[in-house]
Amino acid sequence: MIKVFILVIAIAFTSLFISCDRGKPKPVARSFDQYLYPEDLQGVVPNGVTGDDSVQLVRAYIEQWSRQQALLHYARRNMNTNPEHLERRVEEYKNGLIIYEYEQALVNQKLDTVVSDDEVRTYYESRKELFMLKQPILKLSYIRLKKDAPELDRVKRWFLSTDFKEQDLLEKYCSMYALQYALRDTAWYYADDLIKKVPLSRVGEDNYGQIGRIFEIIENNELYLIILHDSKFRDTRSPLSLAQSNIRNLILNKRKIELIDQMQRSIVDDARRKNNIEIFN
């Protein structure tokens, strides 16, 4: 793989080669007094990537390296950095990163990711204040048609009907003439998301309570037929079905925090029992 990297660099970056002492590898780039060598490019190109893609990856890495070294040069020249303070911060960051990686490995191994419906419901009922709506939500059906679509009176009657045969006729009509449609959708949607599909702003938030009525809206020479099946307004409680996914994530995050906290306390307690931790007065 190293030979492949050297070949790629030799072809793509010949102009960057700089003569060095005999027996030493030729660098592929220089930024001030820092040099980048072919062996530094190991791992830049993933297995299976060849041709122009590999050249682009190497080129991008060299560009990034050159930019970083230039910034470091100017930063070191223009800042009075306390080496001991900097080293201490680097060590703290490294230690924190090692602990974080260990904690994530522990979570991946031991975290129980199964959340029952009963747990979700209990969480929902005990924390009602967390699930207040910041915007209206709606259940609706809509049909988007050309303004001159045929048999509109019949379509409107079918749209309001609960008769199975007429609903089937409407489905067939929509498959032939509708530009877009959604019938008998029982899911809740945020108003802001629906506005991207239908001209809901023309209905107006004051009319969201008019359940079962057909709203006819013409926009951009197209006809929208919209029926609101249910609605909930801002500052009212979100239904469980809409909050369910968020609740599961909240429960899992709580379990994760508790697992990590338990692990930390267990390690520290064990270290103290074995006299591996001492605090001197």
Q: How does residue 22 score in pLDDT terms, banded at 50, 70 and 90?
A: low
pLDDT value of residue 23: 61
What is the pTM assigned to this prediction?
Answer: 0.69
Cβ-Cβ contacts under 8 Å for 277 (sequence gap 6 or more): 268, 271
Convert the pLDDT of each residue in 151-196 to its tens digit: 999 999 999 999 999 999 999 999 999 999 999 888 999 999 999 9
- 267 half-sphere exposure, CB direction, 13 A CA radius: 9
Tokens 């008998």 found at? 184
For residues 22 and 125, the model is more confident at 125
pLDDT tens digits for 25-78?
A: 899 999 999 999 999 998 888 888 888 888 899 999 999 999 999 999 998 888
- On whether the CB atoms of residues 172 and 248 are closer than 8 A, the answer is no
Cβ contacts of 24-30, under 8 Å, gap ≥ 24: 28/62, 29/62, 29/65, 29/66
What share of the chain in percent tops pLDDT 70?
91
Asked whether the beta carbons of 213 and 227 are under 8 A apart, the reply is: yes
As given in the structure block, the two tokens for residue 6 are 């050297």
The encoded tokens of residue 7 equal: 């070949």
Question: Residue for token digits 């379990």?
Answer: 255
pLDDT, tens digit, 9 for 90 and up, residues 191-227 = 999 999 999 999 999 999 999 999 999 999 999 999 9
Confidence (pLDDT) at 86? 86
Q: Which residues pair with 142 in a beta bridge?
A: 182, 226
Q: What domains does the chain contain, in order, with CATH numbers?
A: 2-82 (no CATH), 92-132+238-257 (no CATH), 134-232 (3.10.50.40)
Q: Are strands 180-182 and 137-146 parallel, antiparallel or unpaired?
A: antiparallel
Question: Which pLDDT score is estimated for 18?
Answer: 44
Residue with tokens 């877009």: 180
CA nearest to 198, candidates 144, 147, 148:
144
Mean pLDDT of 231-257: 95
The amino acid occupying position 99 is I
Paired tokens of 128: 């009602």
Q: Which pLDDT value is given to residue 20?
A: 44
